[in-house]
Amino acid sequence: MKRGIGVLMAAALVYGLLVGSASAQEKDVVIPLTLQDMSGKSNVNIALPMVPHDNFFGMSPRLSGQYGLGNMAFGLQVPLSMAFPDEGDTGFGLGNITLEGKFHQCTGGQWAICYGGGLALSAGFLEADESEVRAAHMSGAVGHQSWTYHYYESLVIRPLGFVAITDGAIFGQAEFGAAIGIPIVNTDGKDSHEAAILWAFGAGYKLMDMIAPMIEFRGLSPVTEDGLDSYLWLNFGARFYFGSILPMVRLSIPLTDEASLGGGGQSAPVQFELGCMFQF
């Protein structure tokens, strides 16, 4: 008898989780500007961050795709980076090809709470032995606000946890994780690894099911590199909803010299991104 009651309670719990998750998914969790997509849907995404520096103009196009399986998703990222200097040669870099997987679960009710985690693996096998190539990668890392896609000559491991809350219109999201870079090219004289702590917070409001203005605070704090302060950004922007087409625009204000590629009075005081997601 007790065993039968236990089985019924377990079945009820599983059913409640599944129903709660489905109910929350119906709210269409808003996709932030730079934080994780927890919609659970498949998509193809084109992103173009731009970094106007005193000495060059950086562009970092990234093509990505995600195959959604409801509470799980698997993705592929192909990033590039370019730096067009005021003087000298143009720098071009193929970023780290990235594979990632993530899962999430949502509760039901008037307010849906979604939580989960993910792991990304990226590798940069090409050498960056020219200053213009390194400048291109650095503008890419700053433009994407992440080491993951442009930590050249290294294998990068990025574990991440995230949580979001929404009622279908108002939403907030937070994530916390780490990025660990392990040199795999030109390893002589390099440390065995470099590591940084990642965190981000975002909030916004979806208006008339067509536009979701939002604000984000994002940080990356190196923990193994001496003499480097945190990279901090304040992001403003919006995502638009036109059926399965979801454009976005982002304006980023760097809050530290590292985030603005500062040094010697030279910096990128404002950064931009245009993007478009095709969701299906």
In terms of pLDDT, which residue wins out, 12 or 258? 258
The domain locations on the chain are 2-279
Q: In the predicted model, what is the mean pLDDT of residues 24-47?
A: 83
Count of other CB atoms within 10 angstroms of residue 208:
7
- Backbone angle region of 223, left / alpha / beta, with phi > 0 → left and psi within -120 to 50 → alpha: alpha
151-48-129-219 Cα dihedral, nearest 10 degrees: -30
pTM: 0.84
* Superfamily covering domain 2-279: monomeric porin ompg (2.40.160.40)
d(CA 174, CA 157): 20
Q: What is the 3-state secondary structure (H, E, C) of 97-155?
A: EEEEEEEEEECCCCCEEEEEEEEEEEECCCCCCCHHHHHHHHHHHHHHCCCCCCCCCEE
Backbone angles phi, psi at 127, to 5 degrees: -75, 145
- If you average pLDDT over residues 174-200, what whole number do you get? 87
Q: Which pLDDT belongs to residue 28? A: 66
Would you state the pLDDT for residue 89?
A: 85
Q: Are 42 and 280 in contact (CB under 8 A)?
A: yes
Taking residues 10-16, report their average pLDDT: 41
Are β-strands 154-166 and 72-85 bridged in parallel, bridged antiparallel, or unpaired?
A: unpaired
CA atoms within 13 A on the CB side of 16: 8
